[in-house]
Chains A and B, each alone.
Chain A
Amino acid sequence: MVGKAAGNWRFKDKVLNDLVEVVTLNINSVSYSRAVSSLMTLSHFIREECDLTGTKIGCDRGECGCCSVLVDGKPILACLVLAKFVQDAEITTIEGISVDGQLTPIQESMVENGAIQCGFCTPSMVLNATHLLNTHKAPSKNQIKKCVSGTICRCTGYTKIEKAIEKVVEGRE
């Protein structure tokens, strides 16, 4: 009864037993068609099939927030979505937010304000902040706290990430 491998690898065995289908996703305005398990999650599709490894997988269960991507502009957790389920959507990963290879204001602000340590949570923090800044001209402190609340950061203690977002807002005024 004792398992030899960790849970995620067991899950991989499990998905490989599922039916294979061709799934076509629009990620960062590029169309990716891949023959994958019908039940493959978006996070595995992005990382393993498209080699877009900026999206991280921490818990694979919706609890750490590190796999956040934008689906039709809104942050969702790629580990909780089946790839085939979002075939009709526009998906944006961290690789897709910069314009002409330039860092966006929030990315720059994160660098300048020391909001990145190990960097594991950073893609998710940036995408969640991008959504907040796109939808709110001047988000309140509370809205900023809420925005970072869905991603666990083990390094920074959150204050520097919040400050990085605040600085972008200040720069707008």
Chain B
Amino acid sequence: MSMSSWFAVRKELGPRPRFVIGVMSFVLPLLIWSLVSYVPWLWHPKVEIREPGGVGYFKPGMLVDREVFDKEALTAEQQGKTLPLGDPANPIYLPAPHEVAIAFYTAFTTEPKRRSEKWLHESLWDSIQVIFWGFVISSMIGVPLGILAGTYHFMSRLFEPFIEFFRYLPAPAFGALAVAVLGIHHAPKIAIIFIGTFFQQVLVVANTTRKLDPALLEAAQTLGAKRLSLLFRVVIPGISTDLYRDMRILLGWAWTYLIVAELIGSSSGITWFITQQARYKNFDNVFAAIMMIGIIGLTIDLLLAWLGKRIFPWQRQPARN
């Protein structure tokens, strides 16, 4: 396959280039990160001290700016002291890939510093629970409401103007209120995920419902379908595939509210872990934790995509050439 066919407008790639390019989308950023981390003359604005030499305040392992190091080295040379030795290094907030990879493992195996603190997997589990309940409660109300608003103009006029207004209110703004009403445990965090998801959800689901081909509804009516059977036998199955896709996207949005939600009240979950590690300047752990969120999110999405193909066998399979 030639390069030019890679850029044909809206043409699908063959299975091989499709796979290779998909992998590349992860490899490229990783490659840039590795280059910046491992090629000493790329960036590396700091110097890590190996031997303090004659410089009094240098300590082995210390990070100093390159200019400071050069200046001190020059001074030492002029004063005839032993020269300090050092290696080019990146700032502490940019750990190298292998450090993050190691942190990935050690973060799970390191015992918490205090008895009352949680292991990483416990923190992650807390986060997943907050997302899950926030999203499920939002969906239990938001999806039926959205379908009703998309089906009946009456419902649309009754709910949508207010929801349009409310969705502009930033969910984190309700943090203090949520704590006052719901206490300091999971409940206010779930409430923030709920507020962040619910209003968008109703509008998105209502729009999806409105996009159902009206000819299908008309055909059903000429076949004898009445009010309820129209809703349950035509509208709901008719939008189910699009609804499922919406839910995947909305779940992604719910994840973006996680960090804010977990900062509310007493910080918890993966956010607590991240802020804690940042305080100890363990940025490799911070990176590992941020990536864990990404990996969990992506895994769930892929799982849902895979599941979707099995739940909806009538969906046109993408052409495989």
Q: Is A bound to B?
A: no
